[in-house]
Amino acid sequence: MSTPLVRVSDLRQHFPVRRGLLRRQVGTVRAVDGVSFDVLDGETLGLVGESGSGKSTTGRAILRLLEPTGGSVTFRGRDLTELEPDVLRALRRDMQMIFQDPYASLNPRVSVGRIVREPLDIHSLGSPEERTTRVAELLDMVGLSPDVVTHYPHEFSGGQRQRIGIARALATSPRFIVADEPISALDVSIQAQIVNLLADLKEALGLTYLFIAHDLAMVRHLSDRVAVMYLGRLVELGTRDDVFGAPLHPYTRALRASIPVADPSRAAARPRPAVEGEPPDPAALPHGCRYHTRCPFATDVCRSAEPEWRDLGTSEAPHMVACHRAEEIA
């Protein structure tokens, strides 16, 4: 797992803020603002952060479901941001997405068989008979009976619908999958089943995941490395053990402390770093470190200067952080 399959460099996704009758632009929301990271071949990279931090926008921009404002995304040595639509469409066979809401991502007027078969038809993969066989294989792979091909999405539970979405994502035998909070809309009793299914599929098919979530317990279970995002930028990136065992950024420490603990005595004894207030307006970002308005360790330098993205790990396991005081508070 040492070769980057996907390389994201200075990725930016900005949205104009328009007001008035003439819809004039009065500001800009920097949803993703200079994000850079690699996704190694065969790994699961977890991307975590609060709602509104830019995680889902990052995933969509990587696959060019949104046209990035700037930066580059390289997949197997090809810059996706420079490809013509026809070339990009052919390359999408190797890149797929599992969407967050299984109730909104499946067409209610189309049968399950057609939903799963559609990617095969679009990319002209196999004969009609082979596509029918492939659909049955995919449904069986995700734990559904092939007999459901004639049924419609409203006949299934949320967990079953998400399994259908996973089968659709796997139809073209992709190498890279962006899983955009695939369990957040599901009951807690079902979430572990879907996470275990994703882990089993990764092992069986040699998949590479960008796993976007705000449930840190699930990210810790599934991911090899973890990237932490706040207000459009990465604040920490390292191995799962480093990020959860020895976090360097105050925001990561606060997120870790928010993970529920089943044992009340352990929960009471665990330190809880304070996170005060709400995230700033993304259209009016603060100067300096974007987290300083909520950080208990903030000093004057945090309020005036943007922290550098630097490595405080080892040569074998880099541990990146953007914090002026990382060494002091670690």
Whether residue 85 lies inside any domain: the answer is: no
Q: How confident is the model at residue 120 (pLDDT cuts 50, 70, 90)?
A: very high
Q: How confident is the model at residue 267 (pLDDT cuts 50, 70, 90)?
A: low
Q: What is the pLDDT of residues 36-70, one digit of tens each?
A: 999 999 999 999 998 889 999 999 999 999 999 99
219, 294 contact by CB (below 8 A) = no
- List 72's β-bridge partners, or say none: 9
Over 80: is that where the pLDDT of 266 sits?
no
Over 90: is that where the pLDDT of 319 sits?
yes
Number of domains in the chain: 1
Whether residue 23 lies inside any domain: the answer is: no
Range of the domain at 316: 249-330
Whether residue 62 lies inside any domain: the answer is: no
pLDDT at 292: 94
Q: What is the mean pLDDT of residues 20-34?
A: 92
Whether residue 303 lies inside any domain: the answer is: yes
Q: What is the pLDDT of residues 129-177, one digit of tens each?
A: 999 999 999 999 999 999 999 999 999 999 999 999 999 999 999 999 9
Mean residue pLDDT of the chain comes to 91
What are the residue ranges of helices labelled H in the chain?
55-62, 85-91, 112-122, 128-141, 158-170, 188-205, 216-222, 240-245, 250-257, 264-269, 300-304, 326-329
Whether residue 262 lies inside any domain: the answer is: yes
Q: What percent of the chain has pLDDT over 90?
A: 76
Over 80: is that where the pLDDT of 272 sits?
no
Q: What is the mean pLDDT of residues 223-249?
A: 95
Q: How confident is the model at residue 22 (pLDDT cuts 50, 70, 90)?
A: confident
Whether residue 192 lies inside any domain: the answer is: no
Whether residue 126 lies inside any domain: the answer is: no
Over 60: is that where the pLDDT of 274 sits?
no
Higher pLDDT, 61 or 261: 61
Over 70: is that where the pLDDT of 286 sits?
yes
pLDDT at 269: 63
Whether residue 15 lies inside any domain: the answer is: no
31, 71 contact by CB (below 8 A) = no
Over 60: is that where the pLDDT of 1 sits?
no
